[in-house]
Amino acid sequence: MLMFKFLLFVLSGVFYSAEIMAAVKPSFDCANAQTEAEKLVCADDELAKLDNELAERYTKIKRYQAFVLDGGYTPARKVWKRWVDKRDKFECDPKTKNKKDCLKSIYLYGIQWVKNRQLSFYLDTACKFARDAETGMIDYSRNICDFKLADKAIKDGADINGEIAVDDCPAYMGDRNFDQMRKKEVFDYVLSKGANVTEYVSNKKCYGGAYVLMTPRNVLKKIIEMKPEAVNYVDPLLHRSLLFSTNAKYLSEMMPFLCAKGIDPNVQDTQGYTALMYFLTDSLGVKSTEENLKMVQMFIDCGTDVRLKDKSGRNALANRQRIIKFIKEKPSPLNEEINKLLSY
């Protein structure tokens, strides 16, 4: 009899513990649950556990972003709000069997983008400039990189090609304009982890790929080597090619490469400007008109049709008084040729 009571006591304790463990509380107060989605989470242990995991991970990245970064990313709270809206509206695959499965898929998606976002943070902060051993001065030509945290994030399930927010850019892009990719070490690292960098130029979720025009030169060259058709990328917003730049330093380095790869130099933007016209509107980094003319010659050698006119009916030389004056004051075979070509 005594043994029976003891067993009954033990079993009742087990059942009592199991009952407590079964009542999983989500990250929010169920007494204040307002939406149908929130009420379903409160009523289901599996969903409540997913809610807790997501909330815990989100809190970590929010703190990390506030401490480390300065606004390059969409603020975590805005991303969170977009996700909450997605959850409360049950925005999932129409083929999903029921609302629980729908919520489960949305929570798993949320957990994944938080993991990806964490990886993206780690990529942005993996490298720092080295210091000279003797002087202690920063050596901007060398980087010291540590990818241990990035490796940890990937091991934890972060996807190098996964979105860092709801309907947003992939993790390998970091702050969306490849800024961290200026460091060769980071670019080589993400490639080694399977980053689909060639898809960057056509990723419509990332501003329609518009930021490709800001891509560091070393990255852009690598992408075009890997995906030759990317050389004729055209910004869908302004309809500008990779030759559209007013920076002479960029063009002097990139134009021979882009032209050799088959870029079309006669793409016209929404104003009817060709890349040559655009360059001549405000040429940055050009110390003299003579240098400017050399750049004009590079455009012509690339196959630019100087007869093209913008929507106002002007050709490339129209209103470029500085160049016209230079040609007249310093006649030369090159200047005369350019003048003849541009005087349509």
pLDDT band at 69 (very low <50, low <70, confident <90, very high): very low
Single-letter amino acid, residue 124: D
Judge whether residue 95 has pLDDT over 50.
yes
H helix intervals, the chain: 2-22, 36-43, 45-68, 76-88, 99-124, 148-155, 184-192, 217-226, 248-260, 275-281, 289-301, 321-329, 333-342
For residues 251 and 132, state if they share a domain: no
Average pLDDT, the chain: 78
Using the 3D structure, point to which of 193, 226, 256 is the last residue of a domain.
Answer: 193
Tell whether 53 and 171 lie within a shared domain: yes
Task: Find the radius of gyration of the CA atoms of the chain.
Answer: 29
Q: What percent of the chain has pLDDT over 90?
A: 27
pLDDT reported for residue 267? 95
19 assigned to some structural domain: no
pLDDT at site 311:
93
* Number of domains the chain is built from: 2
**Least confident piece of the model among 139-143, 275-279, 302-306:** 139-143
Give me the pLDDT at residue 224, please. 87
pLDDT recorded at residue 72: 46
Task: State which of 193, 222, 242 marks the end of a domain.
Answer: 193
Residue 301 lies in a domain: yes
Range with the lowest mean pLDDT among 16-25, 134-143, 191-200?
A: 16-25
User: Which residue in 244, 233, 301 sits closest to 277, CA to CA?
Assistant: 244
Residue 203 has pLDDT above 90, yes or no: no
Name the band, by pLDDT with cuts 50, 70 and 90, for residue 153: very high
Residue 240 lies in a domain: yes
Q: Residue 247 — very low, low, confident or very high, per pLDDT cuts 50/70/90? A: confident
Which of 163, 193, 223 is the last residue before a domain boundary? 193
Residue 106 sits in the same domain as residue 254: no
Domain match, 53 and 137 both = yes
Q: The tokens of 31 are what?
A: 């007494």
Q: Say if residue 218's pLDDT is above 70.
A: yes
Is 37 in the same domain as 172? yes
Q: Structural domain of residue 334, as residue ranges?
A: 234-344
pLDDT of 193 over the 60 cut: yes
Q: 150-159, 269-278, 288-297, 313-322: which range is least confident on average?
A: 313-322
